[in-house]
């Protein structure tokens, strides 16, 4: 795209799909809004001219995004004269936040929503339950907060502890963490804040694994209640072996009550039910789980997770919601209406089934959100010199984020199932809002441009040039944005 020095100095992120400079600048801030059903969903046409500004869209989101572009275009008290025609390549443009390993709170979430909106991201995936913490107050289950929302200790800064071994115990800090959780009033406030920014919240309630904090509150929902004698969440990181007892009707009723409440509280169309990393060792030795396998005519322990997934996909659909889950929950016989969130780049085998990659899931007819760790996990290292922050591992420099193609590996006929992508902010090694911002920005800018422009993205050199200016815009807002290299 040939642009004038004026526009080069302004720098739009994400770059609009089509932009023509018509010459000169204007101070005329008068805006006319036009509705035209021919403009694609969330898209807009924007004309900035001497006689004022015209915004044309078919929906409120498009009008909002025209405003976002206008805010970036503004240079002092004038705008360059341009004609823009813009619409997103993908309808799912997400950012995820793990508030369980570490809790960030309402103000950080609001700032994240502000920044998401500035980058035309429209899905906030809120990871609210985990082995290490339960962060949502649920009516009728007061013990969840009493036992599940605080830990007596956490892994010390600079330490790695994942197994719960004796040596790991030496790496704990002995400092009480929490109780940290959201009340219904908090959640309603955040839902409204997100809605004003055209962001839909996707709450995540993990099942049947990653539920140790809930089991601390209600040990009777585990296969081996004695393992929960300490009545507190898991203290170290890593995957917990104690999971929901799927032979216990009361444990399933508990999850139904939680999800029924979540469906009523959150107005969005999708609820995430986790499904990743669920060990089966407790189910193997549990008389109740074995009785369930017999009663339901399941082949073996590997069929328990698909059985519970089928149950909750239908449960959510009866409440007008679509189920979303990490790629493991597509194992076995699961309805095509279930949406997959693909977090691995390649299929692996596991849990008695061949795991499906996101591309394979799309070929099978599932809608898929692509969040492969190699491109989208912002807890991986940025490869910056002297980076003061700690990462879980892996390497994910800015350029790799920008190189992400959600449809790579997906055959043409299945691409209609790729809803989009998302950056994931896991927080084992992310302690506070400064740490979080450093990891999110500028890499989220790169992914936002990928999700907005798809194949039409102009290339990393062009992006980096614009980012030099845009980073200043973020820093001026107090965002702890990392350097570009």
- Two tokens at 208? 């049947």
- For 152, counting Cβ atoms within 10 Å of its Cβ (0-12 exposed, 13-18 middle, 19+ buried), the class is middle
Q: Mask 310-339, x = binds ligand ACM (CB under 6 A)? A: ----------------x-------------
Contact between 276 and ligand ACM per CB under 6 A? yes
Q: Say how far apart CA 415 and CA 432 lie, in whole Å.
A: 37
Instruction: Please state whether the peptide bond connecting residue 42 to the residue before it is cis, i.e. omega within 30 degrees of 0.
Output: no
Q: Is 380 in the site for ligand ACM (CB under 6 A)?
A: no
**CB nearer to ligand ACM: pick between 92 and 326:** 326
Q: What residue 223 binds from ligand ACM, Zn ion, none (CB within 5 to 8 A, per partner kind)?
A: Zn ion
Residue nearest to ligand ACM (CB): 276
> What is the torsional sign of CA 103, 107, 111, 117?
positive
In the bound state with ligand ACM, the residue whose beta carbon lies nearer, of 163 and 231, is 163
The size of the chain, in residues, is: 485
Out of 109, 228, 245, 419, which residue is the one contacting Zn ion (CB under 5 A)?
245
CB of 240 to ligand ACM, least distance (A): 12
What span, in angstroms and rounded, lies between the C-alpha atoms of 290 and 301?
8
SS3 of residue 131 by DSSP: coil
Give the DSSP letter string of 420-461.
Answer: EEEEEE--TT--SHHHHHHHHTTHHHHHHHHHHHGGG---HH
Helices 106-118 and 184-196: crossing angle in degrees, nearest 10, is: 20
Q: Give whichever of 96 and 292 is closer to ligand ACM, judged by the CB atom.
A: 96
Residue 343 binds which entry of Zn ion, ligand ACM, none, CB below 5-8 Å type-dependent: ligand ACM
DSSP 127: E
Decide whether 20 or 392 has the Cβ nearer to ligand ACM: 392
Q: Which is nearer to Zn ion, 223 or 361 (CB)?
A: 223
How many residues interact with ligand ACM (rule CB under 6 A)?
4
**326 interface partner picked from Zn ion, ligand ACM, none, CB below 5 to 8 A per type:** ligand ACM
Q: At closest approach, how far in Å is the CB of 295 from Zn ion?
A: 13
How far apart are the C-alpha atoms of 220 and 130, rounded to whole Å? 18
**Binds 289, which of Zn ion, ligand ACM, none (CB < 5 to 8 A, cut-off by type)?**
Zn ion
Residues that bind Zn ion (CB under 5 A): 223, 245, 247, 286, 288-289
Residues that bind ligand ACM (CB under 6 A): 276-277, 326, 343
């Amino acid at each position: 795209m040939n642009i004038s020095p004026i526009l080069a100095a302004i720098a739009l992120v994400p770059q609009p799909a089509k932009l023509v400079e018509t010459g000169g600048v204007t101070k005329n801030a008068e805006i006319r809004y036009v509705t035209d059903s021919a403009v694609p969903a969330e898209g807009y046409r924007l004309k900035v001219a001497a006689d004022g500004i015209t915004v044309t869209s078919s929906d409120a989101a498009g009008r909002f995004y025209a405003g976002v572009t206008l805010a970036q275009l503004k240079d002092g008290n004038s705008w360059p004269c341009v004609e823009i025609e813009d619409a997103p390549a993908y309808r799912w443009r997400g950012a995820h936040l793990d508030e369980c390993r570490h809790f960030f709170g309402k103000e950080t979430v609001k700032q994240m929503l502000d920044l998401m909106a500035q980058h035309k991201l429209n899905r906030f995936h809120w990871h609210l339950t985990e082995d290490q913490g339960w962060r949502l107050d649920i009516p009728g289950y007061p013990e969840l907060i009493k036992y599940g929302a605080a830990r007596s200790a956490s892994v010390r800064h600079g330490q790695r502890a994942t197994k719960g071994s004796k040596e790991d115990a030496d790496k704990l800090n002995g400092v009480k963490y929490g109780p940290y959780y959201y009340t219904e009033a908090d959640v309603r406030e955040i839902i409204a804040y997100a809605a004003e920014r055209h962001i839909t919240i996707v709450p995540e309630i993990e099942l049947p694994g990653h539920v140790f904090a809930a089991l601390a509150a209600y040990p009777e929902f585990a296969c081996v209640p004695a393992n929960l004698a300490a009545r507190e969440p898991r203290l170290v990181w890593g995957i917990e072996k104690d999971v929901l007892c799927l032979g216990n009707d009361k444990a399933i009723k508990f999850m139904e009550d939680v999800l029924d409440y979540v469906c009523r509280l959150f107005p969005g169309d999708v609820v995430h039910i986790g499904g990743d990393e669920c060990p089966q060792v407790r189910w193997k030795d549990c008389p109740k789980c074995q009785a369930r396998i017999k009663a339901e005519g399941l082949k073996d322990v590997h069929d328990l997770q698909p059985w519970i997934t089928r149950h909750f996909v239908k449960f959510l659909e009866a409440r007008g919601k679509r189920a979303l889950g990490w790629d493991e929950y597509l194992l076995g016989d699961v309805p095509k209406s279930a949406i997959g969130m693909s977090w691995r780049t390649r299929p692996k085998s596991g849990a008695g089934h061949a795991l499906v990659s996101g591309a394979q899931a799309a070929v099978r007819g599932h809608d898929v959100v692509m969040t492969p760790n190699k491109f989208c996990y912002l807890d991986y290292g940025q490869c910056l010199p002297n980076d003061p922050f700690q990462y879980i591992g892996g390497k994910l420099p800015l350029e790799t984020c920008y190189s992400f193609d959600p449809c790579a590996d997906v055959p043409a006929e299945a691409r209609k199932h790729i809803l989009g992508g998302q950056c994931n902010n896991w927080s084992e090694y992310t302690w506070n809002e400064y740490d979080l911002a450093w990891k999110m920005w500028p890499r989220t800018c790169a992914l936002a441009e990928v999700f907005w422009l798809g194949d039409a993205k102009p290339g990393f050199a062009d992006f980096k040039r614009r980012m030099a200016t845009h980073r200043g815009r973020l820093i001026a807002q107090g965002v702890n944005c990392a350097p570009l290299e």
